[in-house]
Structure formats: C-alpha cells, structure tokens
Amino acid sequence: MKKEKRDCYRKVKTQIEEEWKETDILRCFGNRQSLKSHQKDRLAQAFEPRLSPEHSQYEKLTLNDDGMIVQSEFVVEGQKQPLTVIRENFLKSHANYMRTVTDEELYMMSKEQVKERLVQVNAVFSDLDDVDALKAKLKDISHTCHLKIYDPALFYTNKEFEMKTKRKVDIQTIVESP
C-alpha cells in the first residue's frame, strides 16, 4: 500500500516537474509555501501581456549637429498602471498609519475639538469662523492625500502611533519609502 502511494506520488511529481520545464514561468516561491494575496497579485501582474507595439511606440523631435530637426521613433516597453490602482495599493498598505475621520465623527465634533484638530495639523483659520466652515476646512484637509508625502494631518505621528499600539515606528520613513 505504501509503495503504491509512493509510486503514485513520484509519477505526479515528475509530471508536474515536466510541466514546469515546459513553461516560461520562473519558480520564485518554494514548493510548499502558500502565496499571500499581494504576492499572487504581483505575480499575476508580472505575467500580464505587455503593451502592443503600436501603443508603446512614440515619436520625438531632436536637433542634429547641423541644427536640423530630426524626427525619430522610440519604443517604450513595460507595463503601465493607472494612478487609481497605485493610489488604492498605497492606501491599503498604509491604512494602519492613517488618521481616519468619517463624516459622522466630524459632524459630532464640537467647535473646540475641531479647532484643536486644526491646530494639530497646522491649518490656518480664524476664531470668527463658524463651526460649519471649520468642519468643512477640516474635512477638506483630512480627505486630501498626496502619495509618498508624509503629512501629519493624514498620518499619525510617531508618538501617537506608539501610544496607540505600544510599538516604536518611524511612520514618515514608511510612508515616504520608494
């Protein structure tokens, strides 16, 4: 019984190894490791079809040594990702470090809390402004995100994150990492 199972296993293993040899896919993960979802996504992106040549061929105008304008063509190879995909990936990966204020929480804040929050994010405001104007300003600031730029209005400071999670983390380094 054990010998039959072992032989069956060996046959399947050799079949799989032969299939792997026939494909162009590089094995970048071990046999028994399961892939995490982000690894699967990145692996799938690596093997997506490249752009067709007519879409990646561009023209440029340059000056030659005689001062004449020369038109030349060049090809750009690679994959383009829409900015929305890049933004979604960034927001997912940095969600733990971001301050999230929902509209309901913002609506429930008192004028003093809104002013305190605006001072915390170094926003300019007048004491004569009414509560709705201050809340609109805070909402505008907290909903504007610049990719790869640390902004204390959007992300926790190191001290706040340490108080929240009891871990020392340099959030600015994480956010601005390439």
Report DSSP letters for 16-77, one per residue. HHHHHHHS-----S-SSPPPPHHHHHHHHHHTSPPPPTTTSEEEEEEE-TTS-EEEEEEE--
pLDDT digits (tens, 9 = 90+) for 47-105: 565 555 556 678 888 888 888 999 988 877 666 677 788 888 888 888 888 877 788 88
Distance of CA 165 to the CA centre of its chain: 23
Write the CB contacts of 58 (distance below 8 Å, at least 6 apart in sequence). Answer: 73, 74, 75, 76
| Tokens at 153, concatenated | 């209005």
Is the pTM higher than 0.75? The answer reads: no
3-class SS of residue 98:
strand
Residue 12 has pLDDT above 50, yes or no: yes
Residue 177 has pLDDT above 70, yes or no: yes
Residue pair 56/73 in contact (Cβ under 8 Å)? The answer is no
